[in-house]
């Protein structure tokens, strides 16, 4: 099933992001995780290129294939380009197609240390390349607080419009911890003529080190409520996880009730208990 068709039939699609096993770990070792995630009945699952979201990990295609064939859940394979040649991207796409996957998520990706930009510079170029050569349904990334490497928010919105014009059919947002940022972003995006579905990306707080790393990587701002929560529970991991899931649930419910988000995309970090908690909160509220 094409992801674009899900938005035509579902009022608020709920999706998850997971990552393939690290190093030489086999995809088979994620069976338990997949079983638990499938039990919560998400509308689709996206699979990153690696644990860090960068590079075309060899397990991405295999994992998306298992999700679709064995669990009947539409899957989206991430494809990055900044460190790739056109032939390299072609090879990745062929591997994804070989698994019977119809949907890809096109990203620039993180530039590897010491590497040079090759045939692609920006995500929009990859979106256009895929749409011109294949029949994949192509999604793209968006950044409610602006891309960490772009100092001009209006320029960031223009870049998003370029992705849509290049053929992106849906967008999954970078994580954020303050819904007001997403609401401002949506207003700007719609005013700029961006009509494609835009899902709000939510990552429940699972630990202090995770928050520090995510803020550094993506530039997400931390509201005072999150800072107080992390400080209060930093020496109690279980309590911090619970508080983090509850905070994310409040975010998700406000977003769902507002109607601003086309869907909710949960960064699960391969933790089924997180997905289950957020899905139960949504269903309890009637979504």
Q: Which residues are part of the catalytic machinery?
A: 17
Closest to 92 measured CA to CA, from 73, 111, 107, 78: 78
In this structure, the strands spanning 103-107 and 14-18 are: unpaired
- How does 41-78 read in b/e, with b if 16+ C-beta sit within 10 Å? ebbbbbbbbbbebbbbbebbbbbbbbbbeebebbbbbb
Q: Angle 208-218/224-233 helices, nearest 10 degrees?
A: 150
Spatial contact of 206 and 244, defined as CB atoms under 8 Å apart: yes
Q: The dihedral of CA 151, 254, 260, 11: what is its sign?
A: positive
| Token duo for residue 208 | 């202090």
Contacts for 184 with CB less than 8 Å, ≥ 6 apart: 144
Closest to 45 measured CA to CA, from 12, 9, 78: 78
Q: How far is CA 132 from CA 10, 76, 93, 128, in A?
A: 28, 19, 13, 6
Residue whose structure tokens are 């303050």: 178
């Amino acid at each position: 099933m094409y992801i674009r068709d899900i938005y035509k039939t579902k009022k608020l699609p709920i999706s998850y992001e997971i990552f393939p096993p690290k190093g030489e770990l086999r995809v088979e070792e994620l069976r338990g995780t997949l079983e638990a995630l499938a039990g919560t009945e998400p509308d689709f699952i996206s699979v990153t290129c690696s644990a860090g979201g960068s590079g075309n990990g060899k397990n991405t295609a295999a994992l998306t294939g298992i999700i679709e064939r064995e669990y009947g859940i539409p899957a989206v394979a991430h494809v990055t380009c900044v460190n790739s040649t056109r032939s390299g991207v072609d090879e990745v796409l062929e591997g994804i197609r070989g698994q019977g996957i119809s949907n890809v998520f096109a990203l620039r990706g993180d530039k590897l240390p010491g590497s040079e930009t090759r045939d692609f510079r920006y995500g929009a170029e990859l979106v256009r390349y895929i749409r011109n050569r294949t029949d994949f349904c192509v999604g793209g990334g968006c950044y409610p607080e602006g891309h960490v490497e772009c100092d001009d928010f209006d320029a960031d919105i223009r870049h998003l419009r370029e992705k849509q014009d290049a053929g992106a059919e849906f967008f999954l947002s970078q994580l954020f911890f303050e819904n007001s940022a997403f609401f401002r972003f949506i207003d700007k995006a719609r005013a700029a003529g961006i009509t494609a579905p835009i899902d709000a990306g939510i990552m429940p707080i699972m630990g202090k080190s995770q928050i520090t790393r995510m803020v550094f990587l993506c530039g997400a701002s931390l509201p005072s409520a999150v800072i107080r929560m992390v400080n209060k529970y930093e020496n109690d991991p279980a309590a911090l996880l619970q508080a983090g899931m509850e905070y994310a649930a409040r975010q998700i419910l406000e977003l769902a009730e507002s109607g601003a988000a086309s869907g909710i995309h949960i960064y699960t970090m391969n933790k089924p208990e997180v997905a289950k908690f957020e899905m139960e909160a949504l269903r309890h509220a009637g979504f």
